[in-house]
């Protein structure tokens, strides 16, 4: 389904778009403070990020979206209540970076709501030259409109004050205090009730 906006069109990605989704997200988060903390070796960051995003796309409830000419991408996961997170040895997959990734994952899992089915915005990014152009807003509006129609709540973790402000403008509220693991950047768990 494609939705035209004043900015660009949002469409659900299919299997043929997987590499485009991975490329957009990797570029969008290459200099993100959390990605830099998780994967401090700049020469390896892109490869490890791409591997991480690929694991999200492999989730059975994953939906990926692209906007414009591959200027932005998002990955949403449909989560059931009391869903167990997948067991994975992050160190085996991500080497020395796996310990940080696993620590962040465990800290966030303790805060992730499990009382009802919901959408989880696992990641959303816009390539550098297009950030601030309304593409994130268009992607959010697109998926949240359907979530509202389906009566689904939504959850995410904002990884910067700027992204947190964007999500607040779209009806998300802080879900407790921010999360920090060791010297990581702050992450803000956020929840949004469906709107009539």
Residue with tokens 């950030």: 131
Task: Name 62's bridge partners.
Answer: 77
Global confidence as pTM: 0.89
Burial 70-95 (b: 16+ CB within 10 A, else e): bbbbbbbbbbeeeeeeeeeebeeebe
Q: For 118-166, what is each residue's pLDDT tens digit?
A: 999 999 999 988 887 889 999 999 999 999 999 999 999 999 999 999 9
Helical (H) or strand (E) element with 191: strand 188-192
Report, as ranges of residue numbers, the positions in the chain whose pLDDT lies below 70.
Answer: 1-8, 81-93
**Per-residue confidence (pLDDT) for residue 90, from 0 to 100:** 64
Q: What confidence score (pLDDT) does residue 92 get? A: 64
Q: How far is CA 6 from CA 12, 21, 137, 168, 172, in A?
A: 18, 22, 11, 21, 23
How far is Cα 55 from Cα 89, in angstroms, rounded to an integer? Answer: 13
């Amino acid at each position: 389904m494609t939705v035209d906006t004043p900015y660009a069109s949002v469409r659900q990605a299919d299997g043929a778009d997987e590499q485009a989704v991975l490329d957009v997200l990797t570029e969008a988060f290459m200099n993100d403070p959390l990605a830099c903390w998780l994967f401090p070796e700049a020469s390896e960051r892109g490869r490890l990020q791409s591997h991480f995003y690929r694991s999200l796309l492999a989730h059975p409830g994953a939906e990926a979206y692209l906007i414009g000419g591959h200027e932005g991408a998002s990955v949403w996961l449909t989560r059931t209540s009391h869903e167990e997170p997948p067991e994975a040895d992050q160190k085996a997959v991500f080497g020395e970076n796996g310990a940080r990734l696993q620590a962040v994952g465990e800290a966030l899992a303790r805060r992730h709501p499990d009382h009802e089915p919901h959408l989880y915005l696992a990641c959303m990014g816009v390539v550098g030259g297009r950030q601030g152009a309304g593409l994130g807003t268009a992607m959010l509006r697109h998926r949240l409109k359907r979530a509202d129609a389906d009566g689904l709540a939504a959850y995410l973790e904002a990884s910067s004050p700027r992204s947190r402000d964007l999500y607040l403008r779209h009806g998300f509220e802080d879900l407790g205090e921010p999360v920090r693991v060791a010297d990581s950047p702050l992450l803000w768990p956020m929840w949004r009730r469906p709107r009539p």
